[in-house]
A and B are shown apart, each in its own frame.
Chain A
Amino acid sequence: MVKYAFYTGCVSKGGAPELYQSITAVAPKLGLEFEELEGAACTGAGVLTERNEELADTLNARTFAMAERLNLPIMTICSTCQGVMSQANHRLKTNPGYLQRVNQHLAVEGLKYNGTATVKHFMWFLAEDYGLTNLQSKVVRPLTGIKLAAFYGCYVLRPTKDLEYDEHPERGEYLDQIISALGGVPIDYSGKTKCCGFPILTMNEKNSVTMSGNHMMEVKELGGEAMVTPCPLCHLSLDGYQPQAGKIKNVQIGMPIIHLPQAVGLALGIPPQTLGLNKHIVSTASFVGRVRS
């Protein structure tokens, strides 16, 4: 068993409970043990950083200090959480004076961040630690021949300098590699690394759903049968607001949007219901049916 301090993020405990359901079902199959950071606060999702960087970094340092206390690395299941935490960690680790000031804020709670925390997305864990060959060997229900489009989410792609791309140059390709390891056929398309539109959903819904609609239509035109994402915010946009995107595009898109742990879990033989594949806005039946057949 490999143990992680598990950072759930807000959305897997709110609008996308199927993500939490699927990761907790998949974890034991991969020898993952979680100690959930129940007292950790929201990362701020970039919104708090733009209001007050020191406040946002202090909230994240608080989470890092909790993980340090457990002597465990942190695992995330959200591209946005991962990106925001990576950026905060980078600032804290490279500026000792800043870290000292942040620690003064944390002292009231008896916490101190020593700058040693590592934060790893589940997707990065699969590719870098668990190993794609190992994952492939555990597949009992391969996604053979299913054309799947990876949708990464901006925060695990850019800016690369904060995401350790120098050390792990293939981080921008892991999702495609995982799809292949599960037996699926990854689709190459231009929208793969672009924005899902979620951050401006309440400011400019038209632009937001035009973005997501463009990506889904591109995938559809290339014969894609489903999209897989490691980011629940992208999922909310692509799945939750797909009806609105369809309206803009004048078409019923009908694209199943699958959380990464759901795709992994399905290939590892976990029943679809256990993975919450029945809790999507857009039916996942066509995708699940293809895996079963």
Chain B
Amino acid sequence: MKVKLNVKRFDPEKGSRVYFQKYEVDMDDQATVLDALIHVREYVDPTLAFRCSCRSAICGSCGMRINGMAGLGCKTKIFQVAPNGEEINVEPMGNMKVLRDLIVDMGMFWDKIRAVEPWLQPTGPEPEREHIVPNQAMIDLTVAMNCIMCGSCVSDCTVMEVDKSFLGPAALAKAYRFVDDPRDGHTEERIEKYSKPGGIWDCTHCYFCVQVCPKDVAPMDRILDIREAALNAGIKNNNGSRHSDSFANSVKISGWLDEGRLAVESHGYTNIPELLPLIPVGLRVMMAGKMPSPIHHKRPGSKYVKQLFEKLEG
């Protein structure tokens, strides 16, 4: 099978030029993108730089962007991304500084992982032997524990693209692993910490991390799990949880969303500095001739919606 690669190159020792280089190699039908890159490095161009180790989607070394989406080179079969012999674009991961060719500086990635304190912090006297926990309590954690720290989710995170202070999907998925661990004794402090700016409420629901994660950790879902834990723990002094409460309350009462109320309640009725900028927004909406009615009518059957909320939310 002929494989055409178009690889993004950069060598700081040769200046700041970034360019694409094309390679064409013969590979067997089951070859992966990493196999093709190794072939290039071994037999065509020894200057091509990339990280790899296990070739089995275990070590997490070969994160890269393949046709615009982050993933593992060793887990991506050529026939999946180029079924008709198309050229395959290979680039370094995003949101991290490129050191050379496909190698990125993972320093920021590890800083964020460390920032969530990814170790057990039990309280109380140490057990005589090991901590005993029910199997069921650990099953939910196994998803988050599947993370191999490849950086794919961080690479394609749309929030980190505009704000490097965001803890990001990998670190927050790791954070969930400890929030949900029954052996940990600092759950509330952890949630408080992760609820601060740059934490759980800054995720946009864009699903990029869910889509690209090669181990089905679904980091965004883990972030949402921490949000649920925050709401349940009553850690609500932030716009994110106020937004969530207002949204739910609006649907509970009327069956649908009261957008005007949501905008105000998310900031808080007494948060004047954040409420003032809403005035020009409202004026522009009014001038466009589409100011929603100040009376938010109930949808037909809304009493049943309310009953469902009362039954399932308590």
Give A243 to B247 CA distance when docked, in angstroms.
Answer: 25
A40 located at the interface, meaning its Cβ lies under 8 Å from any Cβ of chain B in the complex: yes
Partner of B210, one of A50, A159, A241: A159
Which residues of A are at the interface with B, using a C-beta cutoff of 8 A? 10-11, 13-18, 38-42, 44-52, 54-55, 58-59, 62, 105, 108-109, 154-155, 157-160, 194-195, 197-200, 202-207, 210-211, 214, 240-241, 243, 278-281
In the complex, the chain B residue whose C-beta lies closest to that of A204 is: B202
Partner of A50, one of B206, B228, B255: B228
In addition to A17-B292, A204-B202, 5 A-B residue pairs with Cβ atoms within 8 Å of each other are: A14-B258, A41-B251, A154-B205, A154-B206, A194-B161
Partner of B243, one of A18, A49, A203, A281: A203
Question: Which one, B38-46, B95-103, B306-314, is touching chain A?
Answer: B306-314
A-B contact pairs, 27 of them (CB 8 A): A11-B257, A14-B257, A39-B299, A42-B255, A51-B248, A52-B313, A55-B312, A58-B308, A59-B251, A105-B308, A108-B307, A155-B205, A155-B207, A194-B161, A194-B206, A195-B158, A195-B159, A195-B204, A195-B206, A202-B267, A203-B240, A204-B202, A210-B163, A241-B281, A279-B288, A281-B285, A281-B288
B3 to chain A, nearest CB (A): 21
B271 to chain A, nearest CB (A): 11
**Chain B residues within 8 Å of A40, by CB:** 299
**Chain B residues within 8 Å of A15, by CB:** 259, 285, 290, 292
**Chain B residues within 8 Å of A206, by CB:** 163
Contacting pair B244 A17 (CB below 8 A):
no
Q: From residue 197 to 248 of chain B, which have CB atoms closer than 8 A to chain A?
A: 197, 201-208, 210-211, 224, 227-228, 231, 238-240, 243-244, 247-248
**Chain A residues within 8 Å of B124, by CB:** none
Contacting pair A160 B211 (CB below 8 A):
yes
Give A226 to B95 CA distance when docked, in angstroms.
Answer: 28
- B282-313 Cβ-contact flags toward A at 8 Å (1 or 0): 00110011101000000111101101110111
Give A198 to B289 CA distance when docked, in angstroms.
Answer: 22
**Chain B residues within 8 Å of A14, by CB:** 257-259, 292
In the complex, the chain B residue whose C-beta lies closest to that of A205 is: B277
B138 to chain A, nearest CB (A): 20
Contacting pair B308 A50 (CB below 8 A):
no
Contacting pair B207 A157 (CB below 8 A):
yes
Contacting pair B304 A109 (CB below 8 A):
yes
**Chain A residues within 8 Å of B238, by CB:** 203
In the complex, the chain B residue whose C-beta lies closest to that of A48 is: B248
Contacting pair A194 B158 (CB below 8 A):
yes
B23 located at the interface, meaning its Cβ lies under 8 Å from any Cβ of chain A in the complex: no
Give A197 to B203 CA distance when docked, in angstroms.
Answer: 10
**Chain B residues within 8 Å of A17, by CB:** 290, 292
Contacting pair B288 A154 (CB below 8 A):
no
**Chain A residues within 8 Å of B277, by CB:** 205
In the complex, the chain A residue whose C-beta lies closest to that of B243 is: A202
Give A279 to B289 CA distance when docked, in angstroms.
Answer: 6
B263 located at the interface, meaning its Cβ lies under 8 Å from any Cβ of chain A in the complex: yes
Which residues of B are at the interface with A, using a C-beta cutoff of 8 A? 158-159, 161-163, 166, 197, 201-208, 210-211, 224, 227-228, 231, 238-240, 243-244, 247-248, 251, 255-259, 262-263, 266-267, 277, 280-281, 284-285, 288-290, 292, 299-302, 304-305, 307-309, 311-313
Give A40 to B307 CA distance when docked, in angstroms.
Answer: 14
Q: Top 4 nearest A-B pairs by Cβ distance?
A: A158-B207, A202-B266, A195-B206, A50-B224
Partner of A39, one of B266, B281, B300: B300
Contacting pair B228 A51 (CB below 8 A):
yes
Contacting pair B240 A278 (CB below 8 A):
no
**Chain B residues within 8 Å of A41, by CB:** 251, 255-256, 299, 302, 305
Partner of A52, one of B300, B304, B305, B312: B312
In the complex, the chain B residue whose C-beta lies closest to that of A18 is: B290
Give A198 to B262 CA distance when docked, in angstroms.
Answer: 13
B176 to chain A, nearest CB (A): 13
Give A105 to B306 CA distance when docked, in angstroms.
Answer: 12
Contacting pair A42 B251 (CB below 8 A):
yes
Partner of A207, one of B202, B262, B299: B202
**Chain B residues within 8 Å of A197, by CB:** 204
B287 to chain A, nearest CB (A): 8
Contacting pair B158 A42 (CB below 8 A):
no
Contacting pair B228 A16 (CB below 8 A):
no
Knowing A154-B207, A200-B202, say if A207 contacts B159 (CB, 8 Å).
Answer: yes
In the complex, the chain B residue whose C-beta lies closest to that of A280 is: B288
Knowing A199-B205, A200-B204, A203-B239, say if A54 contacts B251 (CB, 8 Å).
Answer: no
Contacting pair A51 B244 (CB below 8 A):
yes
Give A48 to B149 CA distance when docked, in angstroms.
Answer: 30
B291 to chain A, nearest CB (A): 9
B9 to chain A, nearest CB (A): 19
A61 to chain B, nearest CB (A): 10
A142 to chain B, nearest CB (A): 27
Give A113 to B204 CA distance when docked, in angstroms.
Answer: 31
Partner of B204, one of A38, A54, A160, A199: A199
B232 to chain A, nearest CB (A): 9
Knowing A41-B251, A158-B211, A281-B288, say if A207 contacts B162 (CB, 8 Å).
Answer: yes
